[in-house]
Amino acid sequence: MVVKDKRGRRRYIAFSVTAKSPPSRGELITMMRDRSEEMEIEPPKLIQFDGEKGIVRCSHLLRERTVEMIISLGGKGELETKTLRTSGTLKSLRER
């Protein structure tokens, strides 16, 4: 059995947030957790967030649903989210 069979493959998704008053890291984690419960998926792990751009980690099987969840965070109009890129490694994602 290969190690990745046990751990699972991961995907890293870069996204940007546009808002009049950007959410804090804690507020964003809460919003993602609530939205993922509504969509009945495992909440992604927030790796990095600086107020404008961030990176989340998810399973490769949940990548499409996670992208939908990130885009839907801005549903009420105050917050606009946009996914930028998806990668299998953090290094290649940060280089771009």
**Tell me: the pLDDT tens digits for 48-60?**
999 899 999 999 9
Q: What is the DSSP letter of 8?
A: -
What is the chain's mean pLDDT, rounded? 89
Residue 49 tokens read as: 């967030």
Smallest CA-to-CA distance from 12 within 61, 56, 62, 69 is with 56
Residue 20 CB neighbours (<10 A): 6
Per residue in 59-92, pLDDT tens? 999 999 999 999 988 766 678 899 999 999 999 9
Tell me phi and psi for residue 59, to 5 degrees. -75, 150
Q: What is the pLDDT of residue 2?
A: 66
